[in-house]
Amino acid sequence: MFREQHMHGRLCIAMFVAGALWSGTAAAQELRLGLLTALSGQLSIAGAEQKRGFDIAIEQLGGKVGGVATEIIVADDKGDPGEAAQAANRLIDRDKVQIVTGLPFSHTMMASVRPLLNGGAFVVGANAGPSTLAGEGCHPNLFVSSFHNDQWDIAVGEYMSAKGHKRAYFMGMDYQAGWEHTKAAIRGFKGEKVAEVYTPIKQLDFSAELTQLRAANPDAVFVFYFASSAVAFARQYAQAGLQGRIPLYSMGAFSDPTLFPAQGDSVLGVVMSESWNHQLDNPANKRFVEAYRAKFKRDPTGFAARQYDAMMLIDSAVRAVKGNLADQDALRAAFRKADFQSVRGKFRFNTNHFPIQDIYVEEVAKNDKGQLYSKLIGVAIKDQMDPDYQKCKMPK
């Protein structure tokens, strides 16, 4: 009887080891991919757009990212840093993801990125680009394929100078990202800063600030607002008689196809900087825009485009290591190569895993059907590097 138990025990152990080996091998050929984004809450428009870009990519890849069976785990951070940290921990502990993407906003990204990286996952940020993560906070397994938070603003500030504006008024949202974006625009602008005004995140009535602005009579105005504040600001700017009188500049989040219906004609003529535009003429972008239009019956936003790009980047990296995700060094090298067709045309990573890319300028105009669209009007900066890459001390 003792012998039987022994045999029984050894058989169990053998089966267990065999099972572990087998599932271990199978795991190397399966990708567990997490999408961590804001699907509810005040800022959920961006999350919803990221999901749309994600879905288009998954469809085009036939459900197999990198040619490997993919399990997708979608996590909602509700646009709140506390929730984001919890969701990140669940992705690592419960879902055992190997790669995470999404991460639309700086405050939730800062909360979730550490747990994810400490848990051994690769993180591919598809939108927010906080300056800390580009500098001292950089990490070998973190890749931000979208932009550095300052890039677009520096570009538009320089563009405003290039356009001959000498005195500019700057306004933004009163929080971390708002300060970063607005101060970056001020850095890019070479003329006189007439004022630097920050308004509370929830404030939607800008009557007092617009009165001050009009009294100061600047040559141009730069603002950092998005979602509901961008709707409210654009409408009130027009109602105050400033539309067309004082040129309004911003960055790509101020207006896009999700906000056109609410902003209406009040947003005509606004000039924004963006690292992508739906009119960019390359095969990858054409495929993406056509697929998006067919599925969602309107033009895509930058959020969707950047998530789509992040997915194609992930696809190229997983394909390069032939699904062997356990080999982190090889995976990292594949990510660094960024050997994929970006909707932005050319794309490459800097040493800190942030992009080197062209920053475009677009203006809101009407097409011949009378509909609003973001018209590509030029390039602000070519091959722009972010301002923090030299602070990143990453092992090669």
Partner 1 sequence: MAPALLLEQAFNGVQFGMMLFLLAVGVTLIFGIMNVINLAHGSMFMLGSYFLMQWIAWTHSYAAGVVLALLAIGILSLLLERTIIRPLYRHGHLDQVLATFGLVLFFNELVIVLWGRDPLYIAIPSFLSGQVRLFEGAAYPAYRLAITAVAVLVGVALYLVIAKTRLGMLIRAGAEKRLVVEMMGVDISRIYMLIFALGGVLAGLAGMMTGPLLAVHSGMGEPILVLTLVVVIIGGIGSIRGALIAALLVGVLDTFGRVLLPVVFGTGTGNALSNMTVYILMAGVLLWRPSGLFPSHAS
Q: State which residue, 49 or 153, has the beta carbon closest to partner 1.
A: 49
Does position 209 bind partner 1 by CB under 8 A? Answer: yes
Q: For residue 385, how many C-alpha atoms fall within 13 Å in the half-sphere facing its CB?
A: 11
The single residue among 28, 186, 232, 376 that binds partner 1, judged by CB under 8 A, is: 232
Contact 131, 148 (CB under 8 A): yes
User: Residue 176, interface with partner 1 (CB under 8 A)?
Assistant: no
For the record, the structure tokens of 113 come out as 């990125």
Q: Which residues contact 136 (CB under 8 A, 6 or more apart)?
A: 391, 392, 393
Residue 298 makes contact with partner 1 by CB under 8 A = no
- Binding segment (CB under 8 A) for partner 1, from list 102-110, 212-220, 317-325, 344-352: 212-220
Q: Is 48 in the site for partner 1 (CB under 8 A)?
A: yes
| CA distances for 12 relative to 17, 24, 164, 230, angstroms | 9, 18, 79, 63
* Least distance from partner 1 to the Cβ atom of residue 178, Å: 11
140 contacts: CB under 8 Å, gap ≥ 6: 332, 394, 395
Gap between the Cα atoms of 252 and 259, Å rounded: 11
Interaction of residue 231 with partner 1, rule CB under 8 A: yes
- Length reported for the chain: 396
Task: Select 213 or 321, whichever has its Cβ closest to partner 1.
Answer: 213
Residue 200 binds partner 1 (CB under 8 A): yes
Encoded one letter per residue, x for contact with partner 1 by CB under 8 A and - for no contact, window 131-170 reads ----------------------------------------
Residue 42 interacting with partner 1 (CB under 8 A) = yes
CA dihedral 350, 382, 284, 354 (to 10 degrees): 20
| Cα angle value 372/378/380 (rounded, 5°) | 120
Q: Which is nearer to partner 1, 139 or 181 (CB)?
A: 181
Q: Which two tokens stand for residue 373?
A: 């669209």
Can you tell me which of 27, 69, 74, 262 binds partner 1, judged by CB under 8 A? 262
**CB of 22 or CB of 175, closer to partner 1:** 175
Per CB under 8 A, 348 contacts partner 1: no
User: Cα(138)–Cα(352) distance, rounded to whole angstroms?
Assistant: 6
**Given the structure tokens 């033009």, which residue do they identify?**
299
In this structure, what DSSP letter does residue 389 have?
G
Instruction: Quote the least distance from Cβ 40 to partner 1, whole Å.
Output: 8
Q: Does 196 bind partner 1 (CB under 8 A)?
A: yes
| Residue 186 engages partner 1 in binding (rule: CB under 8 A) | no
Q: At what angle do helices 176-188 and 151-162 cross, to 10 degrees?
A: 30
| E strand segments, the chain | 30-37, 69-76, 99-102, 122-125, 142-144, 167-173, 192-199, 220-224, 248-251, 271-274, 348-349, 355-366, 372-384
Q: How far is the CB of 126 from partner 1 (least distance, A)?
A: 19
Closer to partner 1 by CB, 89 or 203: give it: 203
Taking CB under 8 A as the criterion, the residue among 8, 163, 202, 366 binding partner 1 is: 202
Which is closer to partner 1, CB of 70 or CB of 258?
A: 258
- How many positions of this chain bind partner 1 (CB under 8 A)? 37
When binding is defined by CB under 8 A, the residue of 207, 298, 348, 390 that contacts partner 1 is 207
Q: In terms of CB distance, is 104 or 115 closer to partner 1? A: 104
The verdict on 69 binding partner 1 (CB under 8 A) reads no
Site for partner 1 in 71-130 (CB under 8 A): none
The closest of 345, 369, 373 to 358, measured between CA atoms, is 345
Contact set with partner 1 (CB under 8 A): 42, 44-45, 48, 174, 196-200, 202-205, 207-209, 211-212, 214-215, 227-229, 231-232, 235-236, 239-241, 258-259, 261-264
